[in-house]
Amino acid sequence: MKAKITLAKEFQIGKIDKRIYGSFVEHLGRAVYGGIYEPSHPLADSDGFRTDVIEMVKELNVPIVRYPGGNFVSGYNWEDGVGPVESRPKRLDLAWGTTEPNTFGTNEFMKWCQKANTECMMAVNLGTRGPDEARNLVEYTNHKSGSAWSDMRIKHGYKDPWNVKLWCLGNEMDGRWQMGAKTASEYGKVALEASKMMKWTDGSIETVLCGSSSRNSPTFGEWEATSLDIAYDSIDYVSLHQYYGNHTDDTPSFLALTLELDEFIHSVLCVCDYIKAKKRTNKTINLSFDEWNVWYHSNNAPYERWSMAPPRLEDIYNFEDALLVGAMMITLLRHCDRIKIACLAQLVNVIAPIFTQTGGGIFKQTIFYPFEHLSNFGRGVALNPIISCPKYDCKDFSDVPYLEAIATVDEEKEEMTLFCVNKSLDDDALLEINLLDLENYKPFEFVSMDGYGAKDENGFDKSPVKPHKNELPEVDGATVTAHLQPFSWNVIRFKRK
């Protein structure tokens, strides 16, 4: 196929908030125990953190990590996870049917964040608990000293406050699977009170209201409108969650799911702005897409009930998953004027780009690479490319453009990057890139992932699916011509001359 992408400085969507490249660690399966924390592992440091995991997290360059859940947080007593480890209680986690040993908690996670060069996005329990425990946790983590909870932190060995800046007001409170699930108005009221009291404790924090647990939630739309109407004045962001799977083994439809994702984002923005209009306020609510990924491979895997950290949700990703993850992130960036935070769910072992063996090795899943490219090179501002390319029809969608792309410009580094997925299973693309007033940017690296079967995976023994370098695209004045392989992930990097 022949395709054309036109770029210009003026096509700016907005500045990219680095927190759009966030991720997520929940007390679930082997995400914490056997993932980021495994004191008996040969590569564990003096805090029990796996250094091989930390190295890979640094490669992903994630600026925030959401913690401690997810569904887990809705039954979590944060007090169980602080203080002397020997006196911490074991609890039944009703969200995932396992036993939580509480040997890893808030302070351990904050320490891990420091070592992994990231920051914590903390979630509070608004399921079985409420605003009081939430504001106590803010006092424990953020207040300097001279109050019961801050002095308790100091007694626990942490003199300086952690200064957690971003807080989730519960998790998926609309879901019937959630401990303490609520109606939208019940939740709106609790979230408002929690946010108010948390902000009175520390005026520098931001809070995220739970949106629907997915676009398929029966109360989607109404949930956002009702809870926002109540909590609007105190909160800063509304959350979105979405996971996709290739359930019917229909790759063209699977890769087209970004059309639905785009519609989902658009709808939530409409609801936010409807409430803004209704309230005649200047305050704009932005979005926190704090759970997104492909998730379906591991759905029915058996596990032993009430065991500690059994393998759960351990999807092994294939090549088509990597292409969708790249396309999903591109879609989020197309809305970076309003999506300020996003979390690839999750980070290690549980539906994650990094996979470990307890007591053993580690490997990079296929989805690691597009996320790594975007997170490292996709900084600065996002440009909306004008894409002209053939389209396809499939079972679930029509008029799906074969190419999905975004460009980012990092003025400081004097670099521009074009990210592009070719969704065609068998057609390569001769892509003409017109740079208009960006003519002084010249390509210096062209990396791609291609030539793999849709179901090809990585593993401990061999990891065939990875990026490779290509010959540089041809340059003729302001026109750059690149050859994109069929069914491929492409990253073309430019430097200002």
CB of 29 within 8 A of CB of 346?
A: no
CA distance 136 to 130: 10
**Interaction of residue 172 with ligand AHR, rule CB under 6 A:** yes
**Interaction of residue 346 with ligand AHR, rule CB under 6 A:** yes
CB of 285 within 8 A of CB of 240?
A: no
**Interaction of residue 211 with ligand AHR, rule CB under 6 A:** no
The pairing of beta strand 22-24 with beta strand 64-67: parallel
Minimum distance from CB of 345 to ligand AHR (Å)?
A: 4
The one among 139, 236, 291, 404 contacting ligand AHR by CB under 6 A: 291
115: helix, strand or coil? helix
State which residue, 33 or 441, has the beta carbon closest to ligand AHR. 33
CA atoms within 13 A on the CB side of 231: 32
Q: Which of 26, 291, 314, 320 is catalytic?
A: 291
CB of 478 within 8 A of CB of 7?
A: no
**Interaction of residue 417 with ligand AHR, rule CB under 6 A:** no
Minimum distance from CB of 295 to ligand AHR (Å)?
A: 7
Give the binding-site size for ligand AHR (rule: CB under 6 A). 10
Amino acid identity for residue 406 in this structure: I
State which residue, 346 or 422, has the beta carbon closest to ligand AHR. 346
**Interaction of residue 195 with ligand AHR, rule CB under 6 A:** no
CA 175: distance to chain centroid?
A: 20
Supply the DSSP symbol for 318.
B
Q: Which of 26, 38, 172, 415 is catalytic?
A: 172
The one among 23, 26, 149, 365 contacting ligand AHR by CB under 6 A: 26
Active site residue 291: yes
State which residue, 69 or 131, has the beta carbon closest to ligand AHR. 69
State which residue, 204 or 216, has the beta carbon closest to ligand AHR. 216
Strands (E) across 217-325 are located at 237-244, 286-294
CA distance 126 to 269: 24
**Interaction of residue 242 with ligand AHR, rule CB under 6 A:** no
CA distance 67 to 130: 17
Minimum distance from CB of 7 to ligand AHR (Å)?
A: 35
**Interaction of residue 168 with ligand AHR, rule CB under 6 A:** no
Kindly write down the DSSP assignment for every residue of 45-78, as one continuous string: -TTSBBHHHHHHHHHHT-SEEEES-SGGGGG--G
**Interaction of residue 170 with ligand AHR, rule CB under 6 A:** no
What residues numbered 34-73 form the site for ligand AHR, per CB under 6 A?
Answer: 69-71
Active site residue 263: no
- Residues marked active site are found at 172, 291
Binding site for ligand AHR (CB under 6 A): 26, 69-71, 171-172, 213, 291, 345-346
